[in-house]
Amino acid sequence: MTYTVGMYLAERLSQIGLKHHFAVAGDFNLVLLDQLLVNKEMEQVYCCNELNCGFSAEGYARAHGAAAAVVTFSVGAISAMNAIGGAYAENLPVILISGSPNSNDYGTGHILHHTLGTDDYTYQLEMMRHVTCAAESITDAASAPAKIDHVIRTALRERKPAYLEIACNVSDAECVRPGPVSSLLAEVRVDDVSLKAAVEASLSLLEKSQRVTMVVGSKVRAAHAQAQTEHLADKLECAVTIMAAAKSFFPEDHKGFRGLYWGDVSSPGAQELVEKSDALICVAPVFNDYSTVGWTAWPKGDNVLLAEPNRVTVSGKTYEGFTLREFLEELAKKAPSRPLTAQESKKHVPVIAPTKADARLTNDEMTRQINAMLTSDTTLVAETGDSWFNATRMDLPRGARVELEMQWGHIGWSVPSAFGNAMGSQERQHILMVGDGSFQLTAQEMAQMVRYKLPVIIFLVNNRGYVIEIAIHDGPYNYIKNWDYAGLMEVFNAEDGHGLGLKATTAGELAEAIKKAKANREGPTIIECQIERSDCTKTLVKWGKKVAAANSRKPQAS
């Protein structure tokens, strides 16, 4: 059998551990899809559109470490680019693969369909270079292995998406076979001198400080440094807080865990704990307008040790040439015990009192019942909006995962991402919290949950509008046409599906719906939770006002 470019790509994707790849068919990628199907180590998973395909791959990367999505030229890839931008912002190695025009058409002046109507086909590659860490175009078989390897290697190393386009007549062209995958997984060599200097400078700060607190940020997972972060916390014995986007990235049963640091909407006591520390260790944070509550909670100063994925800044100096994981390992070997902040504080566990079974369903009661479902095997996906705030106030068992998209913040992200996540970790219980406005953007992917019999439980918050936008800046554009959300499941089931659509208007109805959802193992369950529009977390309102104030700053005088 002739070995082809498409087969080379498939084998490389399989070698890095992918069991699935996501796809939307188009005439420029059909031969490539055929070639990928030759590899029996991976399943080809289909999506409703290219935006959802990209977000499904993004969700798979969250669960599985990396992912691949295959689309067609222009009409497919440019649609998927939105999701690839999200993967870049959220530090997820998604390989976007696009079929492209026949290699013989390049430079001929031919005008092709699925293009901008010009004879220049390079525009998509140039666009993709802005939202990926590596981008290559393959128009001949001889260069394919090096370009494929470069794209995959860079994505894995940088923890960012990468792009590959393959001419439609090259996918089945003869190609050499790939060797071992070790070269793609190799770590960058450590600069021992710089690492030692960074550790010594950090120890100097810690040794002269008594009130030491750690703040764990969202990039700690992309840096593969969660275990090392916990080990350092063990050695320091200090208080540990998390940023909102890092929910579940540090175990909440750890003796030093003290909740969420989020400026004025922090867990009780956490803001004072962080802002009064002699030394603050910020591990892989992202300080943007959302995480700093409109730039009001941004730790700075000589007492801040900023440990980023590939750089450490302490006492006015920056050190590079090593990974965060290596830095934390070396620092933990010599770190002094600094238990004062942990001794003077305690973990705050939010307690939501249950309501009567016949009481109208509230946001608090919905959150309480979802929290009670969580186990060490649960992945909870929380959509942009009040679902963020509901997720961050939940008490998590060790091993539970929370997935947020707080940097990109694309409403509608969660439905296809939850689908991809469930494909990538089918051994786990998957729960999705999504608002009605967000759901309307990407609802089609619930059909794929039906198709692949994934028992995802979807809590659809029907409050008839974009409540997060209402909190930030209200207007008539924040109110939407209501749908029969539970009724949609019958549309997606058609003649062979096993999805379940339920509605809950009271606490008792929600409890009963959850029982039915848990019993439905042959497909997804959507529970339409009908609550008042004004019923949202107080933190959303408080946070929204701060962000709105930052957004409405007047232009500076020239």
Q: Detail the residues annotated as belonging to a binding site for Mg(2+).
A: 436, 463, 465
- Strands of the 525-530 sheet, one edge to the other: 401-403, 378-382, 429-435, 457-462, 525-530, 500-504
Write the CA distances from 249 to 223, 356, 409, 443, 484, integer angstroms.
11, 34, 19, 28, 36
In the numeric block, which tokens belong to residue 225? 């440094």
Residues annotated within a binding site: 436, 463, 465
Tell me if 380 sits within 8 A of 391, measured CB to CB. Answer: yes
Distance CA 140, CA 17 (A): 26
Secondary structure (H, E, C), 354-377: CCCCCCECCHHHHHHHHHHHCCCC
With residues binned 3-state (H G I as helix, E B as strand, rest as coil), the percentages for the chain, rounded to 5, are 40, 20, 45
Which residues, other chains included, contact 509 with Cβ-Cβ below 8 Å and sequence gap of 6+?
Answer: 361, 503
In the numeric block, which tokens belong to residue 129? 């270079």
Distance CA 61, CA 66 (A): 4
Phi, psi of 325 (to 5 degrees): -60, -45
Q: How many CB atoms are located within 10 Å of the residue 373 CB?
A: 15
In the numeric block, which tokens belong to residue 169? 């007549």
Q: ∠ CA 369-374-380 to the nearest 5 degrees?
A: 100
Distance CA 30, CA 16 (A): 24
Helix, coil or strand: residue 257: strand
- Strands of the 43-46 sheet, one edge to the other: 43-46, 20-23, 67-71, 94-100, 162-167, 135-138
Phi, psi of 163 (to 5 degrees): -130, 140
Distance CA 418, CA 91 (A): 17
Strands 239-242 and 429-435: unpaired
Helix, coil or strand: residue 323: coil
Residue 54 class from Cβ within 10 Å (0-12 exposed, 13-18 middle, 19+ buried)?
A: buried
Q: ∠ CA 227-228-232 to the nearest 5 degrees?
A: 120
Tell me if 382 sits within 8 A of 415, measured CB to CB. Answer: no
Write the CA distances from 342 to 209, 212, 339, integer angstroms.
14, 9, 5
